[in-house]
């Protein structure tokens, strides 16, 4: 299944002009072809919040899978606003330096252990929503990445059981303000600016991704292919990530965990090629989907 969180455009002048800003107007759906089946329809009766759906476990997932065969309301995909699949994740955790060629282009040392940082959840946006260049820096970079979403609480999960706690996979752009990132060893501030966590367009459930380590990953800036990698090249695999993270902290339904980026990021060029207003960044992962976001200048969008 392809699970989405979406909002409908307003039908009347009195309704919010941007319904995706109000959680009361969010819906969860299943994408079938070019339509979205509304899981909140009374024919299905599932919650409109992705985390609540995940907490519902296998029973909720079975009802979601059966929804296209019911009389539940369908909407054209092009007529809804897709949000991040989990608009307000409990945690956004990201691994750094997980592709050898990316380590080389950044001039870093290969880590002996997994290198984790967090992105504040307020950075998360959906496909189509703008990435904002902040007032305080012009060194804004892109990083196309495969991400996964936790489906049930996970504590001290061994690698061999890791896939059982994953709801599915999605696409993430780990947008980075490089000068702020390099100021501190934790990287958190440089990774957490508002709008700098595009995720989407949907969650592809794990049953449809037989091997997350055998996928093509490409990133374009405008029409120029910048990253052309494969998840085969990850140093630390998804199962190892779950084992290490769940040893340190409880992973919760809706947590978004992103797995590192292949080479071709802006800082790897000489001179660096930063994002500028007017750019469009498109990240495509084989079998998962395409995440596309325009880039705007400071103050050109509000959140």
**What's the pLDDT at 300?**
75
Helical segments of 212-296, H only: 238-248
Q: What is the mean pLDDT of residues 130-134?
A: 98
8 A C-beta contact, residue 121 and residue 284 = no
Mean pLDDT for all residues in the chain = 94
Mapping DSSP to helix (H, G, I), strand (E, B) and coil, where does residue 28 land?
strand
Position 13 pLDDT exceeds 80:
no
Task: Say how far apart CA 28 and CA 158 lie, in whole Å.
Answer: 31
Do 253 and 153 touch, CB atoms closer than 8 A?
yes
> CA quadruple 126, 31, 257, 238: dihedral positive or negative?
negative
Average pLDDT over residues 119-139: 97
pLDDT confidence tier of residue 9, bands split at 50, 70 and 90: confident
Q: pLDDT (tens digit, 9 = 90+) per residue, 62-100? A: 999 999 999 999 999 999 999 999 999 999 999 999 999
- Residue 238 pLDDT > 50: yes
Sole residue written with tokens 């305080």: 136
Q: Both tokens of residue 153?
A: 């609480």
Is the pLDDT reported for residue 154 higher than 80?
A: yes
Give me the mean pLDDT over the 218-226 stretch.
98
Check residue 18 and give its pLDDT. 53
Residue 228 pLDDT exceeds 90: yes
pLDDT at residue 8, rounded to an integer: 86
Burial (CB count <10 Å: 0-12, 13-18, 19+), residue 52: middle
Q: Which tens digit of pLDDT belongs to each residue from 163-198? A: 999 999 999 999 999 999 999 889 999 999 999 999
Give the whole-angstrom CA distance, residue 91 versus residue 76. Answer: 31
Q: How much is the pLDDT for 299?
A: 75
| 220-249 mean pLDDT | 98
In the chain, what are the domains?
A: 2-82 (no CATH), 92-296 (3.90.850.10)
pLDDT at res. 208: 97
Q: What is the pLDDT of residue 197?
A: 98
What would the pLDDT profile of 190-200 be if each residue is shown by its tens digit? 999 999 999 99
pLDDT of residue 144: 98
Tell me the per-residue pLDDT of 22-61, one tens digit each, with 9 for 90 and over. 677 899 999 999 999 999 999 999 999 999 999 999 999 9
Tell me how far apart the alpha carbons of residues 302 and 298 are, in angstroms, rounded to a whole number: 10
Q: Taking the complete model, does pTM exceed 0.85, yes or no?
A: yes
């Amino acid at each position: 299944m392809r699970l989405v969180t979406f909002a409908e455009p307003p039908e009347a002048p009195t309704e919010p002009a941007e319904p995706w800003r109000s959680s009361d107007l969010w819906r969860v759906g299943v994408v079938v072809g070019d339509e979205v089946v509304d899981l909140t329809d009374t024919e299905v009766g599932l919650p409109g919040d992705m985390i609540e759906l995940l907490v519902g476990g296998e029973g909720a997932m079975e009802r979601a899978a059966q929804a296209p065969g019911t009389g539940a309301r369908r909407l054209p995909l092009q007529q809804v606003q897709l949000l991040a699949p989990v608009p307000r994740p409990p945690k956004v955790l990201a691994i750094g330096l997980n592709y050898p060629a990316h380590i080389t282009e950044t001039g870093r040392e290969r880590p002996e252990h997994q290198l984790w940082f967090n992105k504040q959840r307020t950075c998360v946006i959906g496909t189509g929503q703008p990435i904002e260049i902040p007032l305080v820096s012009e060194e804004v970079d892109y990083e196309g990445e495969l991400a996964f979403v936790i489906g049930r609480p996970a504590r001290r999960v061994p690698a061999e059981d890791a896939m059982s706690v994953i709801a599915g996979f999605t696409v993430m752009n780990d947008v980075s303000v490089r000068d702020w990132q390099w100021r501190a060893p934790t990287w958190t501030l440089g990774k957490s600016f508002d709008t700098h966590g595009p995720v989407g367009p949907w969650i592809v459930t794990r049953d449809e991704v037989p091997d997350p380590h055998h996928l093509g990953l490409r990133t374009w800036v405008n029409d120029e292919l910048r990253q052309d990698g494969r998840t085969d090249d990850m140093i630390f695999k998804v199962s190892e990530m779950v084992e290490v993270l769940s040893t340190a902290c409880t992973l919760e339904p809706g947590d978004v965990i992103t797995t590192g980026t292949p080479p071709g990021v802006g800082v790897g060029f000489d001179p660096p090629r930063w994002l500028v207003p007017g750019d469009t960044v498109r990240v495509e992962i084989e079998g998962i989907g395409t995440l596309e976001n325009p880039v705007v200048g400071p103050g050109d969008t509000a959140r």
